[in-house]
Amino acid sequence: MKNRNLESAWAYHNGTKHSYQSIRTNAHHLDWENQPIPFKIYSKLEPIPLPQHLSPSGRPALSAISVVNTPAETQQGLAVQTLAEILYLSAGITKRKSYPGGEILFRAAACTGALYHIDLYVVCGDLPGLEAGVYHFGPHDFALRRLRKGDYRAVIARASGEEASIVNAPAVVTCASTYWRNAWKYQARAYRHCYWDNGTILANFLAAAAARKLPAKVVVGFVDATVNQLLGLDTNREAALTLVALGDHASEGVKSSAAVEPLALETMRLSKEEIDYPAIRAMHEASSLESEAEVATWRREAQQEGDKRAHGGEEEKRLFLLRPLSDEAIPQDTIEQVIQRRGSTRQCSHESITFTQLSTMLDRATRRIPADFLNETEASLNDVYLIVHAVEDLPPGAYLFRRERRAVELLKEGNFRREAGYLGLGQEIPADCSVDVFFLADLNHALERFGNRGYRAAQLEASIMGGKLYLSAYAQRLGASGLTFFDDDVTDFFSPHGAGKSVMFLIALGKSAKPKKGLTVI
């Protein structure tokens, strides 16, 4: 089985690391005349307009992002209105800004380089206001386009190894990436971004669904070829990344579906030329699951009790217990308001945030994610490290978030603004912000347990938590920005505690300042 050839994941990971030398010797430049369009557009399919009205949920954002399970007795049904709202809040266009050369369209979730290479597809049975079918969501005109007519949920259910949440879902949303739309700027490292940008979308998706009392679960285990074929994806250029079960109609069961015939649907050309990065395809193929039996085995192993991983074998140093806001004291800005307000901070001030604000962000963003690769005994594949610059009641320094203690542990004290700026690819934001949050995973552990697919899972989980930090920052009128990094230098900085771990995601948190002209965020 390809998924168990772990050398493939290491080859990709090590081959796409950033270092001071690699950045400065890379001759790649941005060919603006060849920049791909940020949408997948089906040229000859008629749009099915979605309802434009966004109903307020009334659910505070900090409440919505922290939901783990939606109790059965409170669950709501799924109709096209609700589906439209969740799609909008996950991947819709929330702002438009005109400039002399055209118009910038801002999306609901953060994306590396604002290149928006993740597309959402819906596989559903008959819903109020929408016939059963396979659909593509077009943010550019806020419409669905039907790729297949009929109920194909049984195909998805079998591909998932009969994952219960998929079997019972009235709709399954699939997230897929068109590689070139991100690789245009980031080259082979774009495969990491597939899961970074999928994760920030899913953070929004889970919160929007929870606010509407709809259960949602992220599913990483499925037969890749089956899902790609159902969606008609060209696997040389694009691939399905994750499934999300939306809703729960346990009484329906899985019904038979029509045969999956090949699709040949014309899409608009992305750019004059597409450059292929074989390392992306190689990594995706190496982490693919090839049969329903393999998926079922993979999921059983995923749900077994996780290792009780020690945190470096060191004695605990100075612990600072979190002081998060209670449910009654959190800001009441709704999830809709926060998502529509969210941006990516272009410059941070040196101003301090409070320890209560940081505590609230960590507390809300790190609660268990409903996903098929996580369970009660191992709530996370990632450890959360921080470089604190300006947080009231917290000494500047490097910290570890102790999930089980709901506390942060001081690893080393000191002013590390200069070091943080360097680690964040020499940019100003990680040096100027209040706190940098790094997600580091023990890839040896993840790959041993999940095979190469563990690389997908570790990246995705970190970015979902990162997406939740985005939302929890903006819910408190703070700023946030996702950044890239010098891989091995981050590990070295947090060593000996972080030794042997790999960086999955970085986000800077703090108070926004007016951007300087020419500032670039990578």
- Compute CA distances 293 → 75, 159, 287, 288, 436, whole Å: 32, 9, 16, 13, 42
Contacts of 96 by beta carbon, 8 Å cutoff, 6+ apart: 103, 104, 105, 106
Q: H or E stretch including 52?
A: none
Decide if 166 contacts 104 (C-beta within 8 A). Answer: no
Phi, psi of 74 (to 5 degrees): -105, -5
Ramachandran assignment for 426, one of left (phi > 0), alpha (psi -120 to 50 degrees), beta (any other): left
Decide if 472 contacts 322 (C-beta within 8 A). Answer: no
Which pLDDT score is estimated for 103? Answer: 81
For the chain, the domains span 77-253, 318-510
- Helix axes 453-475 and 443-450, enclosed angle (nearest 10): 120
Which pLDDT score is estimated for 166? Answer: 97
Contacts of 469 by beta carbon, 8 Å cutoff, 6+ apart: 361, 365, 437, 480, 507, 509
318-510 matches 77-253 in CATH topology: yes
Tell the CATH topology of 77-253: NADH Oxidase (3.40.109)
Which pLDDT score is estimated for 519? Answer: 41
**Distance from the first to the final alpha carbon of the chain:** 36
Which pLDDT score is estimated for 312? Answer: 45
Q: H or E stretch including 7?
A: helix 7-15
What averages of pLDDT result for each successive group of 10 residues across the chain (522 residues)?
Answer: 94 97 94 96 97 93 91 80 98 88 88 96 97 97 97 96 96 98 98 98 98 96 98 97 92 66 94 97 98 94 63 66 96 96 88 97 96 84 97 97 96 98 96 98 95 97 98 97 97 97 98 63 42
Which pLDDT score is estimated for 424? Answer: 97
* SS3 call for 474: helix
User: How far apart are the C-alpha atoms of 259 and 256, rounded to whole Å?
Assistant: 9
Which pLDDT score is estimated for 68? Answer: 83
Cα Rg of the chain (Å, integer): 22
Amino acid identity for residue 283 in this structure: M
Q: DSSP letter string over 298-342?
A: HHHHHTSPPP---STTPPP-EEEE--PPPTTTS---BHHHHHHH-
- Helix axes 7-15 and 443-450, enclosed angle (nearest 10): 140
How open is the CA angle 80-83-87, to the nearest 5 degrees? 135
User: How far apart are the C-alpha atoms of 288 and 45, rounded to whole Å?
Assistant: 30
Please tell us whether the domain made up of 318-510 is placed in CATH 1.10.3720.10. no
Q: Judging by beta carbons within 10 Å of its beta carbon (0-12, 13-18, 19+), is residue 485 exposed, middle or buried? A: buried
* SS3 call for 236: coil
Which pLDDT score is estimated for 315? Answer: 55
- Tell me which DSSP letter residue 373 carries: T
Which pLDDT score is estimated for 98? Answer: 81
User: How far apart are the C-alpha atoms of 90 and 102, rounded to whole Å?
Assistant: 24
Q: Residue 94 corresponds to which tokens in the numbers above?
A: 């929330």
- Compute CA distances 482 → 26, 269, 462, whole Å: 22, 29, 12
- Compute CA distances 165 → 34, 162, 244, 288, whole Å: 41, 8, 9, 21
pTM: 0.95
- Compute CA distances 301 → 160, 162, 304, 443, whole Å: 14, 15, 5, 16
Within 13 Å of residue 370, how many CA atoms lie on the same side as its CB? 26
- Compute CA distances 9 → 16, 31, 244, 359, 507, whole Å: 11, 29, 24, 34, 24
Amino acid identity for residue 302 in this structure: A
